[in-house]
Structure 1
Amino acid sequence: MPALSIVIPVYEAEDYLPGCLDTVIGDGAGGDALEIVVVDDCSPDGSRAVAERYAARDGRIKVITTPANAGSGPARNFGLAQANGDYVWFVDADDELKPGAVERVLAAVAGPRPPDVVLVQHEKRRDTGAIETGELPELAEHCPADPSGFTLAEWPRIVDYTHTPWTKVSRREFLTATGLGFPTGWYTDIPWTYALLRRAERISVVTECCYQWRQRAGSSITRTRDDRHFDVFTQWQRTWDDFEDVDDPGIRVALFNHMVWHLLLVIGNTERVEPKQRRAFFRRTSELYRRYHPGPEAWQPAAGVTGLKQRLLAARAYLGYEAFRQVYRIAKRVNRSGQPGRPAPAPEPTASEVEASSANSSMGAPSGVGASAAQQAADESPGLPAQPTLPAPRVP
């Protein structure tokens, strides 16, 4: 029986799958301890043919096909049912593993007390070539427990690590025993990840980089305008339903903080939510904010830009939120051009830019303009003073 099964759901990945498989098999990486399950989700392109060519050369690769196209979540479930490894790692077909990743994971699960879940460090490579490193090593430096074996209750802030399935390697018997699977729709990794972390009796981390997320234009839902981004509310509701009987205040506060950060990230990304849908998305976000707020004694808005947005959510002040966004965009143009009369074009602020602005205690706006937006927010959300609490997670 192999020690590790890598499950790769495939749909319209003909151009990327060879690069993915090359990094998985490496120079015989893992040897007989490795199994690769390629799940053809009824892809209409030549993805299956690519997988079969690799399977003909490497006996550790098997190719299976779903009964019907169902999306990456159900395809992962289908692959899990066909996997034989002690551990399972879900890898996306358009991403790549870093050199030595398989060996590092095998070493992490080979100890006398095998973990239920291993979290692995990742990096994001944008289509521009820019690389951003994941935050797992930084988080691990502040782990209040043993990073080689802990529970969610011992380290609630681990929820801030990206909720993508490809940063988790899970013990297969643990997964099957708990019945955890991916639901349908978009953002299915949210309820799966937090249900996984909640149930794990032993979690460990690998802080050396193992995975490269290749963010490509047009190939990721994070860069696709579609009404299916509203699925994020269904997935977060599923998560809270699952945590209904969890009374640990540390866990609930950390999960709430991460949810608010994530929903503000989605609505703030102009490549996701259509402008005509922004009001409805804001209102849905505000509903979840108010429903699951752990109380003012447990959690209050952060400082700076982030806290201002959070207070606008609390007040359901969509017009104030949109006014602030416009102020911020104008300020960025002025700052980048250095000529207020001739602003240079600027994209919508990214989450990292917003967080950097917050960290510097600056609104990023000309004197008086940012102050007006802040005052409007304060007027619309009385009784919710801004003060630093949990810092916002870094962008995955």
Structure 2
Amino acid sequence: MPRFSVIVPAYKVQAYLHECLESVLSQSYPDLELIAVDDCSPDVCGAIIDEFAARDQRVRPVHLTENQGLGPARNAGVAAATGDYLIFLDSDDTLTPDALHAIADRLKETGEPDVLVYDYARTFWTGETIRNQVAALLCEEGPAPFRLADRPGLLRLLMVAWNKAYRREFVEEEGFAFPPGYYEDTPWTYPVLMTAESIATLDRVCVHYRQRRRGAILGTVSPRHFDIFEQYERVFAYVDQNPELARWRPMLFRRMVDHLVVVFARRDRLPRRSRAAFLRKARTHYRRYRSPGVPVPPRARVHHTLIRLGLHRTYRALQLTFALARRTAKVADRLLKGLRSAALRLHYRIQRGLPVRADRAVFAAHGVRGHGCHPGALEQAFRTHAPHIRTAWVTEAEQDDSVPSGTRRLRPGSAAYWTALARSKYLVHNAGFDRRLVKRPGQVFVQTQRGTPLKHKGLDLRERPAAADDLDVDELLDNIDKWDYVVSANRHSTLTWERVHPGTYQTLEYGSPRNDVFQQATSADVTRIRERLGIPEGSVVILYAPTHRDYRRTQRTTLDLARVLRRLGPRYVVLARAHHRHGGPLTEATEPGRIIDVSDHPSVESLCLASDALVTDYSSLMFDYANLDRPIVIHADDAEAYEAARGTYFDLRSFPPGAVARSEDELIDIFATGHWRGSRSVQLRSAFRERFCPHDDGRAAERVVRRVVLGESGLPPVVPLGRRHPVPSPAGRSAEGAATGCLASAAPSWLVAPARRSRMSEHSPAPLEGDAVPLLETKADPGR
């Protein structure tokens, strides 16, 4: 008897059925049977099901001799099921990776409940994925399992069959079955939830609910939407047959009214000539099932009144009125914005006629959440080494907490913002201020850039249309002409910036200001950061920070972090940080406490300090992280595609900062064998630091301020690499300590895990002695 019976009815979904069935069979929890029901589909769905059955004995095909509809097709699947739990999946949807594993764990944890409710996310044909908006109802806190009376809010969830796991014996004992019709989920889901003696929730997205561009049944204009009345008649009939469920009538009534309003109001549901008839029938159901004396929620009174009275024309008039009001509001909003914009342009023009203030500086950064990056480090250095300069930071209101108390806050586009841009002597940015900025005589623009360039930048993007993102060369050159200084971390950056950003500016090759903190932080700082992040003591922390993919529409990582952690063991924790252009978490949090989403954390430098190793691909973060002298592992599973789309200035595989993995399995091997901090990795990192971190001794920002603001020529000398002592990671580096004095003199080749050595080039170097080492811990230096 399998643990799960996954039932997939199929009808006219040949384009999506492969992906659906594959998402089930590829689950990390294999104890399942897949019952694929061919509902006499006229396309090749039946053949596809038979192909899957031929290759995997867990697939049980069911072929119906005539088309019966979704409900009866599911019933046929239930009749053939032998698993402990039933799971329904529509044939154009998919299970998320490891969904069944998470469901099985939660079922065991909550004592085998009758029903387990889990979450879903809508996946649009454009590539966008949006999680269920009422996911908070699936919170796992509190007693579990429970009855519906303990958490009636679950009835606010989408009433569908495919976001739940059902104990098969419970379904059979109660005799639940799907009726035919459009809205077959309604008379199934309500009775199941009301009758269940034990319910549990799983706060995890287990289903990706496909939103097709065209072809969804419920989005088709048809008189068959009148089926909704018959389905609610079945729900109330069930309640009448079970008097102990009478307490649910008022809530079911409100849910029915809400559902009827949705069907009536949507233009993609009812034929125009049948709308009045639909509202008349809705009025009949309203009067039939209303519970006298039960109050109507204030926000729903208008809808209830219109349906109770059957006011079709009134409803239509109100819709038109509200639509007209919205359009009027939009026009008024555009006019107000136009007037405000004109007023601000006039204000800026007037301010440009006033003297430049030599004691003012404005800072801003792109791609960071609040006060940070190189401009953030320079703003702090201004306050320390040039305290006579009054600094201001451009930020949104929600990021105010990240700005130091002694720094003025400016809202983008405000009158104060334009005043500051017009009259401040120093302008500091890592990209560029508003394109309407007019740089005045006497103003000094310091361009910090955003890191050492690996991928193509500036004018080089003209040959990379996938990455150019509508690059306006004239606007770029106009921006470059405003720069007076460009801060550079190393010779590679200097040569690259001066070629791809041609201008008359002066390059300040002083190091990376944002990396100063790596030489200044102490072990106490690291401990405090880890405690705030909730990292268990003694953990080995991996910071996973991939960069943006220009050639991908969606940025979901291909790395299965949950699988990586399961293979490495309980000591490992991953800090997952998405690129600022990603706009969401990298992966679903399937390992609470072990996969920590830090995409919204304001300081990537703090995350670097908290970690024991960095795993990245082509992100410039590797150049910064190298200053910590901690292990770096490159996960380059799409190097050819990335190179073709974006282009790089050198082959990272030939000159990496540490071990290189070309697949997920190789990455696991690198950590499992200790290769990530073996002697060979130390050699690679040492060579990398020599080339890209020559000036990052903790005083880069100070040098910039002394040169640009104070006009000094005798700047603090650079501390050599061998005399720098960045704060060690909590996990220690005892395993590589003996090798820290070894420097690689030649550009190394690929470094992969020994288990994958057979796939390496014959010219790849053999592993050095000490590569495969046990994971050891050392105490942090008490003197730091």
Compute the TM-score of the two structures, normalised by the length of structure 2: 0.41
Closer/same/farther in 2, CA of residues 139 and 225 from structure 1, 3 Å limit: same
Q: Which moved more, 1:155-164 or 1:244-253?
A: 244-253
Q: Is the 8 A contact 1:40 1:63 kept in 2?
A: yes
How do 1:2-151 and structure 2 match up within 5 A?
A: 2-26=2-26, 28-31=27-30, 33-111=31-109, 113-135=111-133, 137-141=135-139, 146=143, 148-151=144-147
Q: Is the 8 A contact 2:221 2:269 kept in 1?
A: yes
1:260 Cα deviation after fit:
1.2
* Distance in 2 between residues matched to 1:301 and 1:213, nearest whole Å: 30
Of 271, 275, 282, 1:274 maps to: 271
Query: Highest relative contact order (Cα 8 Å, sep 6+), 1 or 2?
Result: 1
Q: Is the 8 A contact 1:5 1:87 kept in 2?
A: yes
* Distance in 2 between residues matched to 1:231 and 1:247, nearest whole Å: 27
Closer/same/farther in 2, CA of residues 141 and 89 from structure 1, 3 Å limit: closer
* Distance in 2 between residues matched to 1:333 and 1:129, nearest whole Å: 29
Question: 1:110 aligns to what SS in structure 2?
Answer: helix
Q: What CA deviation, in whole Å up to 9, does each residue of 1:284-319 have, x standing for no partner?
A: 1222222222234x222422xx43222222232222
Pairwise CA RMSD:
2.2
1:127 Cα deviation after fit:
3.0
Q: Is the 8 A contact 1:221 1:272 kept in 2?
A: no
Q: Which moved more, 1:125-134 or 1:272-281?
A: 125-134
* Distance in 1 between residues matched to 2:60 and 2:331, nearest whole Å: 55
**What does residue 311 of structure 1 align with?**
305
Query: Does residue 1:176 correspond to 2:197, yes or no?
Result: no
1:338 Cα deviation after fit:
4.5
1:123 Cα deviation after fit:
1.2
Query: Does residue 1:300 correspond to 2:296, yes or no?
Result: yes
Of 300, 303, 326, 2:320 maps to: 326
Larger gyration radius, structure 1 or structure 2 = 2
Which amino acid in the other structure matches residue 272 of structure 1? Answer: R
1:249 Cα deviation after fit:
6.5
Which amino acid in the other structure matches residue 162 of structure 2? Answer: W
* Distance in 2 between residues matched to 1:84 and 1:324, nearest whole Å: 53
Which amino acid in the other structure matches residue 261 of structure 1? Answer: D
* Distance in 1 between residues matched to 2:64 and 2:330, nearest whole Å: 50
Q: Is the 8 A contact 1:90 1:166 kept in 2?
A: yes
Which amino acid in the other structure matches residue 333 of structure 1? Answer: R
Q: Is the 8 A contact 1:195 1:239 kept in 2?
A: yes
Structure 1 spans left out of the alignment, 5+ residues: 342-396
**What does residue 258 of structure 2 align with?**
261
Closer/same/farther in 2, CA of residues 340 and 135 from structure 1, 3 Å limit: closer
Which amino acid in the other structure matches residue 260 of structure 2? Answer: L
1:135 Cα deviation after fit:
4.2
Question: 1:118 aligns to what SS in structure 2?
Answer: strand
**What does residue 351 of structure 1 align with?**
none
Instruction: Report percent identity of matched pairs.
Output: 33
1:247 Cα deviation after fit:
5.5
* Distance in 2 between residues matched to 1:186 and 1:336, nearest whole Å: 37
Q: Is the 8 A contact 2:138 2:202 kept in 1?
A: no
Closer/same/farther in 2, CA of residues 252 and 333 from structure 1, 3 Å limit: same
1:142 Cα deviation after fit:
10
Q: Is the 8 A contact 2:239 2:246 kept in 1?
A: no
* Distance in 2 between residues matched to 1:275 and 1:44, nearest whole Å: 30
* Distance in 1 between residues matched to 2:213 and 2:63, nearest whole Å: 27
1:23 Cα deviation after fit:
1.5
Q: Is the 8 A contact 1:301 1:311 kept in 2?
A: no
Structure 2 spans left out of the alignment, 5+ residues: 336-784
* Distance in 1 between residues matched to 2:179 and 2:218, nearest whole Å: 18
Which amino acid in the other structure matches residue 136 of structure 2? Answer: E
* Distance in 2 between residues matched to 1:70 and 1:206, nearest whole Å: 32
How do 1:353-372 and structure 2 match up within 5 A?
A: none
Q: Is the 8 A contact 1:186 1:229 kept in 2?
A: yes
* Distance in 1 between residues matched to 2:151 and 2:247, nearest whole Å: 9
* Distance in 2 between residues matched to 1:226 and 1:323, nearest whole Å: 23
Q: Is the 8 A contact 1:39 1:65 kept in 2?
A: yes
**What does residue 232 of structure 2 align with?**
236
* Distance in 2 between residues matched to 1:268 and 1:122, nearest whole Å: 25
Q: What CA deviation, in whole Å up to 9, does each residue of 1:132-159 have, x standing for no partner?
A: 322453224599x73x311123333321
* Distance in 2 between residues matched to 1:60 and 1:110, nearest whole Å: 23
Q: What CA deviation, in whole Å up to 9, does each residue of 1:21-63 have, x standing for no partner?
A: 121122x5322x1111100011110111212222222221121
Question: 1:166 aligns to what SS in structure 2?
Answer: coil
1:335 Cα deviation after fit:
3.4
Which amino acid in the other structure matches residue 255 of structure 2? Answer: H
1:339 Cα deviation after fit:
8.3
Closer/same/farther in 2, CA of residues 50 and 266 from structure 1, 3 Å limit: same
* Distance in 2 between residues matched to 1:140 and 1:112, nearest whole Å: 14
Question: 1:243 aligns to what SS in structure 2?
Answer: helix
Q: Is the 8 A contact 1:226 1:274 kept in 2?
A: yes
Closer/same/farther in 2, CA of residues 157 and 291 from structure 1, 3 Å limit: farther
Closer/same/farther in 2, CA of residues 135 and 247 from structure 1, 3 Å limit: farther
Query: Does residue 1:197 correspond to 2:193, yes or no?
Result: yes
* Distance in 1 between residues matched to 2:112 and 2:308, nearest whole Å: 43
Q: Is the 8 A contact 1:227 1:273 kept in 2?
A: yes
1:209 Cα deviation after fit:
0.7
Q: Is the 8 A contact 1:4 1:34 kept in 2?
A: yes
Q: Figure out how many residues of one structure are paired with residues of the other and give that number.
A: 334
1:197 Cα deviation after fit:
1.1
Q: What CA deviation, in whole Å up to 9, does each residue of 1:40-88 have, x standing for no partner?
A: 0111101112122222222211211113210010000001111111001
**What does residue 353 of structure 1 align with?**
none
1:179 Cα deviation after fit:
1.1
Q: What CA deviation, in whole Å up to 9, does each residue of 1:217-270 have, x standing for no partner?
A: 333222101111000000011101111244667522222221111111111110
Q: Is the 8 A contact 1:253 1:299 kept in 2?
A: no
* Distance in 2 between residues matched to 1:200 and 1:242, nearest whole Å: 14
Q: Is the 8 A contact 1:5 1:85 kept in 2?
A: yes
* Distance in 2 between residues matched to 1:235 and 1:301, nearest whole Å: 24
Closer/same/farther in 2, CA of residues 93 and 15 from structure 1, 3 Å limit: same
